[in-house]
Amino acid sequence: MNYESALEYIHAVQWAGHKPGLSRTRTLLAALGDPHKKLRFVHVAGTNGKGSTAAMLASCLQAAGYRVGLYTSPFINRFNERIQVNGEQIPDDALVRLVERVRPAADAMADVPTEFEIITALGMLWFAEEKCDIVVLEVGLGGTLDSTNVIDPPECAVITALGMDHVKELGPTIADIAAAKAGIIKPGSPVVSYGGVPEADAVIARVAKEQNAPLTVVDLSRLKVEGGDLDAVTFDFDRLDGVRLPLIGSYQPKNAALAITALRVLRGRGWNIPDSAIRTGLEQVSWPGRFELLRHSPAFLLDGSHNAHGMRATVQSLRDRFPGQKFIFLLSIMADKDVDEMLALLLPLAKRFVTVAAHTPRAMPAETLAEHIRVRGGKAEAAADIPAGVARAVELGGDDPVCALGTLYFSGDVRQAFARLTAE
């Protein structure tokens, strides 16, 4: 196999027709010698902020001197981003070698594993091979039936901000969604929750009690945001003062407060994580595609918010960082999202929209999205593809800020198209 054929194999098995559950992942990992049993984990679930919080946790643990695995999805530029050790992506040759090891075990199964289940197995093998001290493991979807949930009780379970997303898979109410996320709570294993949604908080508290799992809810009253610009946002939280966080979204200090709280819970379990390492880790963290500035002036922003809950936070960040300004939005939205609610949030800040379709069958066609915007009184035009959309948005923007958002699935393509355009 080469790198391309290894990726082809990984992507070949889709979810369609597969029953949710953990049995396939368990069978596959057992055939590979149960690599996950050799590892210790921080398990991260939630609707929004999972990736940013996971990146912060991994950065701080690495700054504390640990060998840290990081498992996240989706990727922005290259598949290998999903499996990292101490900030280094899994090398191509290692990925090929592990796919060659996983494939016969997967092919021998009567119920073949899905793409995500195969990737989870690849991650576990690599983290075990690299002798990680701890792995920050981001849930793919939900919690209870997510293939990452095959692990033994983690060092800490972290539940980030909850909102309405994936209702088809997880259930129609916020309590249903909370119950799915709370599925990562294991007997006796501490839980740190972002909190703030009473219905969801009640579910998480109940499950934590049933599992005899000590629960800490982040005390956001101790968070004070000192200020923010286009390079960093500065905050104080719980005896850590003047932290300069390079993730500039207005919501990121709250994610950082969640990470700090979880790291202090880990410290209580014997992990050596001084405050100096937490500060260093937060000030050095990098997490592409989340309210990320690709150009300062005129500003070109890339943001992965992909549901109404995330869009609300992004809109607040746009108002905070660019007071009184209007934007050209380059927009792609998945057809299964609450498109109208997302548009209602963006329209007051929009000069006009350029719509594109991300490279995934779930993406709403560009013209359909443009029509949704026009019906609501906005100005919109559809572009033939992402490079054309980027070029048109930049052209329309002139000296005004441009913001590309609506899905993480087009972030890599937007970044490449913007780099090519500005290099010309």
Q: How far is CA 146 from CA 20, 117, 209, 407, in A?
A: 8, 9, 22, 21
Q: What is the DSSP string of 224-281?
A: EEEEE-SS-EEEEETTEEEEEES---TTHHHHHHHHHHHHHHHHHTT----HHHHHHH
Other beta carbons within 10 Å of 266: 21
CA distance 54 to 71: 8
Note whether 119 and 248 are same-domain residues: yes
Looking at 284, 304, 333, the residue that finishes a domain is 284
The answer to whether residues 22 and 170 belong to one domain is yes
Domain count, the chain: 2
CA quadruple 141, 43, 125, 81: dihedral, nearest 10: 70
Q: Report the candidate in 277, 244, 248, 250 with the shortest Cα–Cα distance to residue 263.
A: 277
Which residues lie closer than 8 Å to 89 by C-beta, 6 or more apart?
78, 80, 81, 83
Bridge partner residues of 301 (DSSP):
293, 403
Residues 268 and 302 in one domain: no
Among 216, 250, 284, residue at a domain's last position:
284
Residues 141 and 171 both lie in one domain: yes
Q: What is the CATH number of the domain that holds 361?
A: 3.90.190.20
DSSP class per residue in 110-137: SSPPPHHHHHHHHHHHHHHHTT-SEEEE
- My answer on whether 54 and 9 are in the same domain is yes
- 51 and 173 part of one domain: yes
Q: Which domain holds residue 309?
A: 292-423
Query: 228 with 86, same domain?
Result: yes
Tens-digit pLDDT string for the chain (424 aa)? 999 999 999 998 765 667 889 999 999 999 999 999 999 999 999 988 999 999 999 999 999 999 999 999 988 889 999 999 999 999 999 999 999 999 999 999 999 999 999 999 999 999 999 999 999 999 998 889 999 999 999 999 999 998 765 556 666 688 999 999 999 999 999 999 999 999 999 999 999 999 999 999 999 999 999 998 999 999 999 999 999 999 999 999 999 999 999 999 999 999 999 999 999 999 999 999 889 999 999 999 999 888 888 899 899 999 999 999 999 999 999 998 889 999 999 999 999 999 999 998 889 999 999 999 999 999 999 999 999 999 999 999 999 999 999 988 899 999 999 999 999 7
Looking at the fold, whether 233 and 318 belong to one and the same domain comes out as no
> pLDDT tens, 362-373?
899 999 999 999
Same domain as 96, residue 126 = yes
Q: Are strands 350-355 and 327-331 parallel, antiparallel or unpaired?
A: parallel
**Structural domain ending residue among the three candidates 224, 249, 284:** 284
82 with 215, same domain: the answer is: yes
CB atoms within 10 A of CB 109: 14
Q: Contact at 8 Å (CB) between 53 and 255?
A: yes
Over residues 285-308, the pLDDT tens digits come to: 999 988 999 999 999 999 988 888
Within this chain, do residues 131 and 186 fall inside the same structural domain, yes or no?
A: yes
Residues 316, 246 share a domain: no
Please write down the long-range contacts of 1-7, taking CB distance under 8 Å and 24 or more positions apart.
1/96, 1/99, 1/100, 2/96, 3/92, 3/95, 3/96, 6/95, 6/96, 6/99, 6/100, 7/79
- Continuous segment of H or E residues that includes residue 26: helix 23-31
**Residue 224: per-residue pLDDT:** 98
- Beta bridge mates, 10: none
DSSP string of 352-420, one letter each residue: EEEE---SSTTBPPHHHHHHHHHHTT--EEE-SSHHHHHHHHHHHHTTS-EEEES-GGGHHHHHHHHHH
